[in-house]
Chain A
Amino acid sequence: MKLALFTGCTIPARALNYEISARRLADALGIEMVDIKNASCCGMPVRNINRIASLTMSANTLAQADEMGMDLMTLCSACNATLAEAAHELNHDKELRKQINKNLVSAGGKPYNGDRKVWHFTRYLYQEIGSDKIASLVKHPLNGISVVAHAGCHYLKPTKTFECFDDPEVPSTLDQLIQTTGAKSVKIINRNECCSGGILGIKESTSLKVVGGKLKRIKDRGGVDAMVLHCPFCNIQYEGNQKKIEREVGEVFDLPVLYLPQLLGLALGIDEKDLGFSLNRIKPKVLLEKMGA
């Protein structure tokens, strides 16, 4: 089954290490992805200010995948939830779909016919490829590595959209995928806390306080080699803003942040260069040495 790949706005401009590692991992696992041509924003940014405009932008992307005859594959959790929620509403509510399509066509788009499913790359790995298969392909076990999994919010919530495939209070799908490599997924206090990227542009000081809190709890736990996540917004918070927070709070965290496909790719023996590690801002040097890469 081929999937229509939607990389969104942030990944193709600011998270090339996520994009390249996900593409190479998909190749290694036989996942066929075809890029959506003429892709534009998923609609998330305007959701706060105009629901109809946001749904119309989402419908535009859903219609592009529909025209390709494929379900959607997303890498960004924000795109994932925005498009999945829009699909959930538009697939079930014909009247709303009619209204949104009218809007979309008048803006020069093609109408969305409904029934497309939206996958997050991680969910696809978990449900369609499976932990057992991934574990069977591991060439370089990452035994002795301890990471904190950051599942984030828009990968699995709202659960009414995502059919509770993972537990919002005790998520475990990301941990199970991490553990296929032999690495240990460790717990910290309040592990599920949001990255608060949603308000970075509204009130940065508040947003970064939330991020700093989690970085501190990871440091206090001790023995953590990296954080593993699967969303470019969460990454901006924990990796991109880490130095800034260190300066503000006068404390060093030096916590490498990896995208899930980078970790899985290493274990599957994909060349380190094809996993984009040179683009990680907090160099996971010690980690790569420990992994024997």
Chain B
Amino acid sequence: MNENADNSTIPISRLEPHFKYEVASEVGGERIKSCFQCGTCTASCPIRVVDEVYNPRRIIRMVLLGMRKEVLESEAIWLCTYCYTCQERCPQDVSITDLMFALKNLATREGHMHPSYKPQIEVLSGFGRMYEITDFDNKKREKLGLPPVDNNKEVVDAILDNNKLKEAKQ
């Protein structure tokens, strides 16, 4: 992890110039090469205001430079809160929110899934939902006149299995 990548020296030999094409071939990454670094994304970002680690313009520049490892192993790509503010404003139609989804998907495939997803996968796999529905929940619902709900794990569990998410490395 290197959050101060802009301040450190990266030898040109370590750059992977093909990375931008790899990202552009992902759904959501198609328009990355159109970025002209205006910074509208960073200026619009609600996260950037309170946390300097997240800077969408910097992430895009790092991809364009070929800083593959630094991007895919960074904490920064996980800090997009997918509000779409930058995506709606980007003058070059870069679809930045979709691009961040693509980078996080790519990082996961490379074995760098953010650790917060492991417990979420376990809950989804166990109950098919983000919260287990207990008898207590259904009693509370009944008292209010709400219909009962169930945990339905089968299909969700199989989807997680088929896409190898249960064994994803962090």
Interface residues of A (CB under 8 A from B): 7, 9-10, 12-14, 16, 19-20, 23, 35, 38-41, 45-53, 56-57, 60, 103-104, 106-109, 153, 157-159, 168-169, 192-194, 196-199, 201-203, 206-207, 209-210, 213, 276
Contacts and interface: CB of A to CB of B under 8 A. Distances in A.
Contacts of A9: 129-131
B27 A194 contact: no
Contacts of A206: 47, 50-51, 53-54, 79
B128 A40 contact: yes
A103 B159 contact: yes
A38 B150 contact: yes
Given A16-B146, A35-B147, A107-B158, A203 B79 contact: yes
Contacts of B152: 38-40
B40 to A, nearest CB: 13
Contacts of B167: none
Given A12-B149, A13-B131, A159-B88, 18 more contacts: A12-B137, A13-B132, A35-B147, A39-B152, A40-B153, A46-B124, A49-B108, A52-B163, A53-B165, A60-B155, A103-B159, A106-B158, A157-B87, A193-B46, A194-B85, A196-B46, A196-B81, A206-B50
A108 B154 contact: yes
A41 B105 contact: no
B100 to A, nearest CB: 9
A196 B85 CA distance: 12
A198 B159 contact: no
A49 B105 contact: yes
A49 B104 contact: yes
A107 B161 CA distance: 9
27 contacts: A7-B149, A9-B131, A12-B137, A13-B137, A16-B144, A20-B144, A39-B152, A40-B152, A41-B129, A46-B120, A47-B101, A53-B159, A53-B163, A57-B155, A103-B163, A106-B162, A157-B87, A158-B87, A158-B97, A194-B85, A196-B47, A198-B83, A202-B78, A202-B116, A206-B54, A210-B49, A213-B50
A49 B103 CA distance: 9
Interface residues of B, number: 60
A82 to B, nearest CB: 10
Contacts of A153: 82-85
Nearest to B45: A194
B114 interface: yes
B105 A51 contact: yes
Contacts of A196: 46-47, 81, 83
Contacts of A276: 144
B84 A49 contact: no
B36 interface: no
A109 B81 contact: no
Nearest to B156: A40
A45 B124 contact: yes
Contacts of B163: 50, 52-53, 56, 103
Contact of B124 (A41, A56, A106, A198): A41
Given A47-B101, A53-B160, A158-B87, A16 B50 contact: no
B56 to A, nearest CB: 13
B80 interface: yes
A197 B81 contact: yes
Contacts of B159: 53, 56-57, 60, 103-104, 107
A207 B97 CA distance: 17
A158 B146 contact: no
B150 A49 contact: no
Contacts of A38: 150, 152
